[in-house]
């Protein structure tokens, strides 16, 4: 398949490389990131999209997505599919989908879960919004770049699934870190805490698969000085998107709102920027109740 890939940073680069390694003809464009092995460089986003059956984007925010879409959609042949794997606001996603459909181009919003490690290993999960036909076209590529792709519904449904999932993740990671900090002050051994919670009603992905306590549970960023697997500033971005969506939908999300406040403080006023989102644990360790 002929593929255009725009946005070749920490996530997009490995994804494009995996597609090229699988034998697809991938043409890439990025303003700054290096070109992955096997990917043919283009001089512009439009050039990467010309003649492509699928154009994949991995971009920082909704404004940039709208600008790139305005450039590439006119360059795409009718029947091609624009597949955006960025995590952006639902409104931008739906606006781009309408623009693509008006031009005879399919559109998918397909944000991912799995982080940089999953991008490199080809084990991402894709949450996908868009038409059945567009999903069927891109599904073979999802199978190369990831281990699972869930078609969640109409345009915007993929973004909705991603921000709801990550709102849960942000809230549960904070609760997990709070609980470890409390256990420390109550004199409870961290390993014993893990042994109990990981096999009882406190079970969660944050505890069992990504434990924020060094030396406890499976290997995680906590065992590497909280070098990011999923950076705190990216969690903050997703939490803010969840609250933008909640405001637009008139949804009451008090835990999501409080998690957003805590990650804002951690990233912007403390030492959270550039650290893994599970570094909330040392934050709580050093704080009292006041």
- Delimit the domains of the chain by residue range: 2-154, 160-286
| Separation of alpha carbons 165 and 239, rounded Å | 10
Q: Is 193 within 8 Å of 212 (Cβ atoms)?
A: no
Per-residue confidence at 95, pLDDT binned at 50, 70, 90? Answer: very high
What pLDDT is attached to residue 10?
Answer: 92
Instruction: pLDDT band for 185, please (50, 70, 90 cuts).
Output: very high
Residue 290 has pLDDT above 80, yes or no: no
pLDDT digits (tens, 9 = 90+) for 151-173: 999 999 999 999 999 999 999 99
Helix-strand-coil percent breakdown of the chain, rounded to 5? 50, 15, 35
**Identical topology for domains 2-154 and 160-286:** no
The answer to whether 169 touches 205, Cβ cutoff 8 Å, is: yes
The span from the CA of 67 to the CA of 134, in Å, is 22
Return the CATH class of domain 160-286. mainly alpha
DSSP run (H or E) holding 192:
helix 190-197
* Angle in degrees, CA 155, 235, 153, rounded to 5: 15
Confirm if 26 and 20 have CB atoms less than 8 A apart.
yes
Phi, psi of 227 (to 5 degrees): -60, 135
Can you give the pLDDT at residue 270? 97
pLDDT of 21 reads 97
At residue 190, φ and ψ (nearest 5 deg) are: -65, -40
Output b/e per residue, 95-115; b: 16+ Cβ within 10 A. Answer: bbbebbbeeebbbbbbbbbbb
Considering the entire predicted model, what is its pTM? Answer: 0.91
Match domain 2-154 to its CATH number in 3.40.30.10, 3.20.20.140, 3.40.50.720, 1.20.1250.20.
3.40.50.720
The pLDDT value given to residue 116: 86
pLDDT > 90 fraction of the chain, expressed in percent and rounded: 96
Q: Of the residues 67, 148, 162, 192, which is catalytic?
A: 162
Catalytic-residue membership of 162: yes
Looking at residue 73, its pLDDT comes to: 98
């Amino acid at each position: 398949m002929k593929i255009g890939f725009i946005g070749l940073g920490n996530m997009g680069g490995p994804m494009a490389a995996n597609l090229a390694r699988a034998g697809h003809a991938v043409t890439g464009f990025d303003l700054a990131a290096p070109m992955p092995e096997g990917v043919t460089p283009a001089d512009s986003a439009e050039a990467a999209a010309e003649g492509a059956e699928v154009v994949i984007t991995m971009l920082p925010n909704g404004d940039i997505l709208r600008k790139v879409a305005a450039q590439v959609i006119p360059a795409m042949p009718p029947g091609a599919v624009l597949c955006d794997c960025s995590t952006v606001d639902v409104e931008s996603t739906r606006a781009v989908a309408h623009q693509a459909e008006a031009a005879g181009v399919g559109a998918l919003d397909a944000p991912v879960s799995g982080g940089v490690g999953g991008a490199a290993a080809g084990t991402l999960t894709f949450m996908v919004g868009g038409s059945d036909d567009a999903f069927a076209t891109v599904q073979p590529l999802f199978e190369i770049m990831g281990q699972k792709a869930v078609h969640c519904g109409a345009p915007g449904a993929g973004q909705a699934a991603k921000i709801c999932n990550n709102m849960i993740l942000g809230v549960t990671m904070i609760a997990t870190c709070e609980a470890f900090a409390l256990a420390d002050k109550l004199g409870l051994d961290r390993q014993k805490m893990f042994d109990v919670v990981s096999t009882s009603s406190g079970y969660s992905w944050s505890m069992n698969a990504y434990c924020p306590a060094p030396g406890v549970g499976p290997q995680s960023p906590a065992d590497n000085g909280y070098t990011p697997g999923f950076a705190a500033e990216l969690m903050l971005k997703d939490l803010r998107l969840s609250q933008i969506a909640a405001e637009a939908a008139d949804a009451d999300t008090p835990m999501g709102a409080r998690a957003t406040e805590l990650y804002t403080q951690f990233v912007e006023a403390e030492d959270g920027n550039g650290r893994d989102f599970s570094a909330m644990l040392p934050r709580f360790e050093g704080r009292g109740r006041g």
